[in-house]
Structure 1
């Protein structure tokens, strides 16, 4: 639909590579269905995310940086409504284990986090590979690329509805894959005309956004 971010079926990307390339060049952002992450696991991870962000601040602060900005981010003067936890690399079992230990995750929470890390990494590699093929880059493997994982919370109240949850920004990496709240909108992306377009929720989908590294490439 015109004015809406495009929706791509991951099972059909190969046969629609020209369309995908057009979307990448025009939008730099799209939603994807049939991405391979089980819907039940997405719902379970959403519940675990809420539980982790509801932890006492002294526990959340144990989620320390591996590189600057990779760990816990408390609300700040620039982003007073934003709070996040960070896992440096979902492809690393050690990184996943450290994240769970820092936050004293229960055995159930740890199982969900580990399963979600594996599923999202597999989906990210698949999507990145299909994107590169649509751009004419063949025989390149994204295996081994680190994939940071963040759990974001926006603490809106009736008084701040309409405010920005986080400052306007571009993503610094190659690819961002977002599981947003299927019941609550708010995400906006800039189109090629410089206008912000609402990325309305679509249950069961993931949002794919190209970052600065992809633009340079």
Structure 2
């Protein structure tokens, strides 16, 4: 069903409706059945989002010699140049968006202007707060109490797709899952192309951009943390038109120290533990070393530890 598309809308979560039990129910169902949802009323000003997009576009237009200064802290966290697998795609990134020092280092690497620095720092602070708050609400939707995500790092990646007339109808980025717990995506409001795989049918659903909103995808860590309840949604980017597409992604990763494991409250006789505890770094290394980018790494990790 690789090329099958269906015309279905993904769930929409209103952040201002919490703590309404119905909104928690919607959130849990979105995590379990879809692995993706759009959030509205998220309190990040549309003006800041617009300023951030302008800053991002300027940084991605920098010469290669400057962009390559954006070095990695962990694999995949620095500059990513176009390659044979994804020839139309490049990205800049940093680890950890919640650290002011890391944000300042990122800006210095790219010779960001004082205004760009101010915008990036403001956006980083706001999006990190939102990511942790959203993780907390997701845990509460399962009936859990506790501060699970407070110290989890947020990786930041700004993406540029250089679509050409010849590339229309091809993939801008291969089908994959994210390794993170969740990803908050500020889409390009003018250029679509993102498609998510529906869990029940395996069909691809085009995600139409919606200005002022943010898209959330759940990744591999969410599946492990929830003991298999949450869907790590597969997604891809299709080239729909010959233009430049820019997106801004924030990944709430996994524990910075110690192992990743399912909370005890989510393990019982009806839901036996599915995953032996492992570190987030193990997951990342396995995905990269064996090219397991579409969720297969979780099965591999279970076999490794069994």
TM (normalized to structure 1)? 0.97
> What residue number does 2:255 align with?
none
Tell me if structure 2 keeps the 8 A contact 1:91–1:144.
no
CA contact (8 A) 1:177 1:208 kept: yes
Deviation at 1:14, TM superposition (A): 2.5
Matches of 1:20 and 1:113, distance apart in 2: 29
User: 1:143 aligns to what SS in structure 2?
Assistant: coil
Question: What is the alpha-carbon distance in structure 1 between the residues aligned to residue 130 and residue 147 of structure 2?
Answer: 16
Greater shift in the superposed pair: 45-54 or 7-16: 7-16
Match of 2:288 in 1: none
Question: What is residue 108 of structure 1 aligned with on the other side?
Answer: 115
Matches within 5 A, 1:75-90: 75-90=82-97
Aligned to 1:153: 160
- Taking the aligned partners of 1:138 and 1:198, their CA distance within structure 2 comes to 35
Moved more, 148-157 or 132-141: 132-141
Aligned equivalent of 2:188: 181
CA distance in 1, matches of 2:179, 2:159: 17
Tell me the residue number matched to 2:54. 47
State the match for 2:75 in structure 1.
Answer: 68
Tell me the residue number matched to 2:301.
none
How far apart in 2 are the matches of 1:122 and 1:30?
Answer: 18
2:136 is aligned to: 129
SS of residue matched to 1:183: coil
Residue 173 of structure 1 and its aligned partner are, at CA, apart by 1.0
CA distance in 2, matches of 1:126, 1:5: 21
Asked if the contact 2:136/2:149 (under 8 Å) is kept, the reply is yes
CA-to-aligned-CA distance 1:29-76 (integer Å, 9 cap, x gap) = 000011121110000000000100000100000000001110000000
* 1:121–1:44 distance in 2 versus 1, CA, 3 Å: same
Match of residue 23 from structure 1? 30
Q: 1:148 aligns to what SS in structure 2?
A: strand
CA shift digits 1:72-109 (9 cap, x unpaired): 00000000011000011111111001000000001011
CA distance in 2, matches of 1:188, 1:70: 23
SS in 1 for 2:160: strand
Per-residue CA deviations over 1:180-210 (Å, capped at 9, x if unaligned) read 0111110110011111101111110100010
Q: Which residue does 2:208 correspond to in 1?
A: 200
* Contact 1:188–1:198 under 8 Å retained in 2: yes
How many residues align structurally?
A: 216
* TM-score, reference length from structure 2: 0.69
Aligned equivalent of 2:151, options 144, 156, 160:
144
What SS is found at the alignment partner of 1:178? Answer: strand
1:12 deviates by 1.3
